[in-house]
Amino acid sequence: MKVIIQDAETKRYLSTNGRWVAAENDAQDFMSLLPAYNFAKNFTSGRFEVVLYSPDDNYRTSIIEGEGKGSDSAEAVVSCVVVGYAKGKQAKHKKAGDPSVWSRFNACMTSTRNYLN
């Protein structure tokens, strides 16, 4: 089961590189509802849904709806990832286009657990 973010208007999903894609399989898996909701609320603009998606049986259901307060800029999303990853660690400032940012974000999400859901 994947926890993914969907744009309510375009029905596209947020991918690991910060772009909106049509396929659920290409969407970033946030592993847990609360991190997905907080990320979407703070770093997307417009209405969004946090969706549970099971690729095995092509099942999807919207769990949480909200409205983002962020900008459409990919730079804002990438900056958020760097700051979020660096919490509790020595922060390193990277350029917004650094390709390693998303791989570090994925590593952080994989090692993080949320026991609320």
Tell me the DSSP string of 25-46.
GGB---SSHHHHHHHHHHH-EE
Instruction: Dump pLDDT digits (tens) for 42-73.
Output: 999 899 999 999 999 989 999 999 999 876 55
pTM above 0.85, yes or no: no
pLDDT tens digit string along 67-94?
A: 998 765 544 454 444 344 444 444 444 4
